[in-house]
Amino acid sequence: MLFAEITYALTGIGLFALGLRGALLRRSLLGRIIAINVCGAGVFMLFVAIAYRGPGQAPDALPHALVLTGIVVAVSATALALALGRRLRDSDHE
Amino acid sequence: MSDLLGILFVLTGIAFFAAGSIGVLRLPDLHSRLHALTKADNLGLGLLCAGLAIIDGGALNAVKLFLVWVLVLAASATAAHLIAQQALRQADK
Amino acid sequence: MTTTTQILLASTALLLLTLGMGLARAMIGPSLQDRMLSVQLLGTGGVAVLLLLSPLLAIPALVDVALVLALLAAVAAAALTRREVDDV
Amino acid sequence: MMAVQLWQLLDLLLAGLTLGLGWAAVSGPDLRRSVVFFIAFGLLVAVVWARLRAPDLALAEAAIGAGLSGALLLSALRDEPDAETSDDVRGGPVAALVSLAGLALAAAFAWVMIHTLGAADPVRLADQITAQLPNSGVGNPVTAVLLNFRAYDTLLELAVLLAAVLGILALGPARTPYRAAGPLLDGLIRWLVPLLILTAGYLLWAGAHAPGGAFQAGAMLAAAAVMLRLGGHTIAGLPRPPMQRILLTAGIAAFVLVGVITTGLGLAFLQYPGGWSGGLILLIEAAATLAIATTLALAYIGGRPAGWVSEGSADTTTKIGGRD
């Protein structure tokens, strides 16, 4: 096993746990959305770490393609969540 | 020989970065910190780009590196102004 | 592994350490502008790290990534400073 | 020998900084502070992708993680009343319990991961990708996976993006636009927007053989839209709504069209005829770039721009459902 693979995979797991904790403990929607994004970044990092093959070796392209689409889906999901939140607040204030 | 020159540039660049960071960390107020940052990191990146271009030796890479530096220079100058402007506006309020 | 590569590698590690120091300012604050300032330092520093990684990993495309990061750091700076301006 | 240790030091530093910034982004109480740290986090994650030899991801993360997401959160923060920009994080025994559970979960994941990674080498899809790359019509393995080997998945992903933006458009009108920019910001926009568009074109073209492609190019175009909106351009440089509709569906339309034609030729859905792969992929990617850019720009605007709903219809009453 490669040192970098382990280091970044563990970092990914750490970010996932941090994000999950934040999503559960923060009260505001915006704070939770940020936390979920950090959580997602942790998952992506685990994927990319596993795809790593060591110095001078081409990494596995399949997880890269998955994560690439994941990044774009994450940002549109974030935008949708923010729009939902705005709608929710507007109807609360009525 | 050219590697030696390149390394010298890179190391000086890193030293400027370090100076900038220490300035950002230690200087007493926002405006002097901004001043330290823009001076140090732009000069640092310029030296670093020059050093890497010398080590690489390729013309295309040198052009790209130069482009990156000019971009960062222009962008960070504007950004520093915007941050300072915002801080002043908030102080006025 | 040539000496040049080793020195570049050590420089990258040193640069990361430096950026960590700058980020301490982001943690301390106290004002939001102080935090933005360290983000800007991180943007320039990130560009520098990418440029150093390019020869170290032998991936020429990382220079393109550095270019994109430089452009987007400017977008982020504009977005960061814009918010408050509109409040006045 | 020495170099190995230096790499390890570098990895530890990078990982530590990433974790620190992630922690700062999720811990309260000030939301503005969280957003600033989240932007910094995105910048650093882009560097991590570069370190792990994933330049395609580094490009996308630099554009989206460091730029678009931050701008999106900032414009949402602008709508929050000032009282709600501070967010107290729950404390007490519940928090302690959640933290402990999170720690246990992380430890369990780490244990599973270390045991799985150490296991015997399974059949690697990577080898098949490398073997088939010469037949894919492109030289970049990530592009080959996205637009040839797993083109069907990418088609459906574009559908997911469309669904998300339709949701946003259905939820309400656009956010309040920004006022016209001052001379300083205006000067920045003047040179940054053309450069962003130029870079988008370059990344689209480069994607066939080098890092880049539709997602990265689309994100760069969307960043140009963000800059324009920040400068006071209400619809962020987008064309009129009828054209927006066409652009939103362009990616899916190109995919389906190519798929139907290949089926008509007696091949499988999206099985490109020999020799045509490169051209067809570029065609689909160009359409997908426009669709992704329009999607992300509309997502940033955060609702329907003026002109999406015809006069006299439901748009004047923005409230849904009964309000009794």
> What is residue D122's predicted lDDT score, i.e. its pLDDT?
60
> What is residue D87's predicted lDDT score, i.e. its pLDDT?
62
Which chain B residue is nearest to residue D192, measuring alpha carbons?
A: B75
Query: Same domain for D172 and D296?
Result: yes
- Decide if C50 touches D, using CB distance below 8 A: yes
Angle at D301 between CA D297 and CA D302, to 5 degrees: 115
Which chain D residue is nearest to residue B75, measuring alpha carbons?
A: D188
Out of B42-51, D14-23, D206-215, least confident range: D206-215
Indicate whether D219 belongs to any domain: yes
CA–CA separation, B18 and D292 (whole Å) = 40
Among residues C33, C43, A20, the alpha carbon closest in space to that of B30 is found at C33
Q: Which of D60, D76, D160 lies nearest to residue A30, judging by beta carbons?
A: D76
- Asked if D89 and A25 count as a contact pair (C-beta separation under 8 A), the reply is yes
pLDDT surpasses 80 at C78: yes
Among residues C21, A22, C80, A79, the alpha carbon closest in space to that of D32 is found at C80
Between helix D151-171 and helix D241-264 the angle, nearest 10°, is 160
Q: Which of D184, D191, D192 lies nearest to residue B82, judging by beta carbons?
A: D184
Distance from CA of B78 to the nearest CA of D (A): 7
Give the residue with greater pLDDT, B88 vs A41.
A41
Residue C77 to residue B52, Cβ atoms within 8 A: no
> What is residue D82's predicted lDDT score, i.e. its pLDDT?
60
Which chain B residue is nearest to residue C26, measuring alpha carbons?
A: B25
Q: What is the dihedral of CA B64, B69, B74, B77, to 10 degrees?
A: 160
> What is residue B15's predicted lDDT score, i.e. its pLDDT?
92
Exposed (0-12), middle (13-18) or buried (19+): which is D162, by Cβ within 10 Å?
A: middle
Residue whose entry in the numeric block shows the structure tokens 């652009």: D247
> What is residue D52's predicted lDDT score, i.e. its pLDDT?
94
Among residues D144, C55, C49, the alpha carbon closest in space to that of B53 is found at C55
> What is residue C40's predicted lDDT score, i.e. its pLDDT?
87
CA–CA separation, B28 and B30 (whole Å) = 7
Q: Which of D9, D185, D199 lies nearest to residue C71, judging by beta carbons?
A: D199
> What is residue D317's predicted lDDT score, i.e. its pLDDT?
44
D and A touching (3 or more beta-carbon pairs closer than 8 Å):
yes
D171 C-beta neighbours (distance < 10 Å), count = 21
- Asked if D25 and C28 count as a contact pair (C-beta separation under 8 A), the reply is no
Out of D34-38, D226-230, D269-273, least confident range: D269-273
> What is residue A43's predicted lDDT score, i.e. its pLDDT?
95
Task: Kindly indicate the confidence band of residue D120, based on its pLDDT and cuts at 50, 70 and 90.
Answer: low
What secondary structure does DSSP assign to D132-162, as a single string? HGGGSS-S-HHHHIIIIITHHHHHHHHHHHH
Distances (CA, A) of C88 to A67, B36, C44, D151: 41, 28, 30, 49
Query: Same domain for D45 and D102?
Result: no
- Decide if C40 touches D, using CB distance below 8 A: no
Residues in chain B closer than 8 A to C13 (CB atoms): none
Give the residue with greater pLDDT, C86 vs D71.
D71
CA–CA separation, C8 and C11 (whole Å) = 5
Residue A33 to residue D154, Cβ atoms within 8 A: no
What secondary structure does DSSP assign to D62-114, as a single string? HHIIIIIHHHHHHHHHHHS-GGGGB-PBP-HHHHHHHHHHHHHHHHHHHHHHH
Residue D62 to residue C68, Cβ atoms within 8 A: yes
- Decide if B75 touches C, using CB distance below 8 A: yes
End-to-end CA distance of chain B: 58
Query: Same domain for D84 and D210?
Result: no
Among residues D53, D209, D57, D206, the alpha carbon closest in space to that of D133 is found at D209
Q: Which of D38, D49, D56 lies nearest to residue A34, judging by beta carbons?
A: D38
Query: Same domain for D185 and D220?
Result: yes
CA–CA separation, D306 and D324 (whole Å) = 29
- Per-residue pLDDT, averaged over D91-103, amounts to 83
Out of B10-19, D170-179, D212-221, least confident range: D170-179
Q: Which of D3, D17, D212 lies nearest to residue C20, judging by beta carbons?
A: D17
Token pair for residue D62? 């630099």
Query: Same domain for D151 and D285?
Result: yes
Question: pTM to 2 decimals?
Answer: 0.91
Q: Tens digits of per-residue pLDDT, B72-83?
A: 988 888 888 888
- Decide if B85 touches D, using CB distance below 8 A: yes
Distances (CA, A) of A93 to A83, A88, D300: 16, 9, 23
Q: What are chain A's partners, defined as 3 or more CB pairs within 8 angstroms? A: D
pLDDT surpasses 60 at B11: yes
pLDDT surpasses 60 at D319: no
Domain end residue (candidates: D89, D110, D132): D89
Distance from CA of D263 to the nearest CA of A (A): 25
Which chain D residue is nearest to residue B72, measuring alpha carbons?
A: D192
Q: Which long-range contacts (CB under 8 A, 24 or more apart) does D95-102 make?
A: D95/A25, D98/A21, D98/A24, D98/A25, D99/A21, D102/A17, D102/A18, D102/A20, D102/A21
Indicate whether D111 belongs to any domain: yes
Indicate whether D125 belongs to any domain: no
pLDDT surpasses 60 at D318: no
Q: How many domains does chain D have?
A: 3
Token pair for residue D267? 């091949």
- Per-residue pLDDT, averaged over A68-80, amounts to 92
Indicate whether D100 belongs to any domain: yes
CA–CA separation, C54 and D53 (whole Å) = 10
- Decide if C22 touches D, using CB distance below 8 A: no
- Asked if D209 and D233 count as a contact pair (C-beta separation under 8 A), the reply is no
> What is residue C24's predicted lDDT score, i.e. its pLDDT?
87
Helix (H) or strand (E) holding B64: helix B59-92
> What is residue C85's predicted lDDT score, i.e. its pLDDT?
42
Indicate whether D126 belongs to any domain: no
Which chain B residue is nearest to residue D182, measuring alpha carbons?
A: B82
Indicate whether D294 belongs to any domain: yes
| CATH no. of A3-92 | 1.10.287.3510
A and B touching (3 or more beta-carbon pairs closer than 8 Å):
no
Q: Tens digits of per-residue pLDDT, C12-52?
A: 999 999 999 888 888 887 888 888 888 888 899 999 999 99
Residue D195 to residue C38, Cβ atoms within 8 A: no
Collect all residues with Cβ–Cβ distance below 8 Å to A66 and sequence separation of at least 6: A47
Query: Same domain for D81 and D99?
Result: no
Residue D171 to residue A85, Cβ atoms within 8 A: no
Show the domain range for D285.
140-324
- Asked if C32 and C80 count as a contact pair (C-beta separation under 8 A), the reply is no
Task: Kindly indicate the confidence band of residue D310, based on its pLDDT and cuts at 50, 70 and 90.
Answer: low
Query: Same domain for D218 and D74?
Result: no
pLDDT surpasses 50 at D323: no
Query: Same domain for D147 and D263?
Result: yes
* CB crowding D84-123: b at 16 or more within 10 Å, else e: ebebebeeeeeeeebeeebeeebeebbeebeeeeeeeeee
- Asked if D169 and D304 count as a contact pair (C-beta separation under 8 A), the reply is yes
Residue whose entry in the numeric block shows the structure tokens 């020799």: D275
Q: For D304, list phi and psi in degrees, rounded to 5.
A: -70, 125
Among residues D55, D23, D99, D74, the alpha carbon closest in space to that of D203 is found at D55
- Per-residue pLDDT, averaged over D52-75, amounts to 91
Query: Same domain for D278 and D264?
Result: yes
Query: Same domain for D111 and D2?
Result: no
Indicate whether D128 belongs to any domain: no
Which chain C residue is nearest to residue B8, measuring alpha carbons?
A: C7
CA–CA separation, D63 and D28 (whole Å) = 26
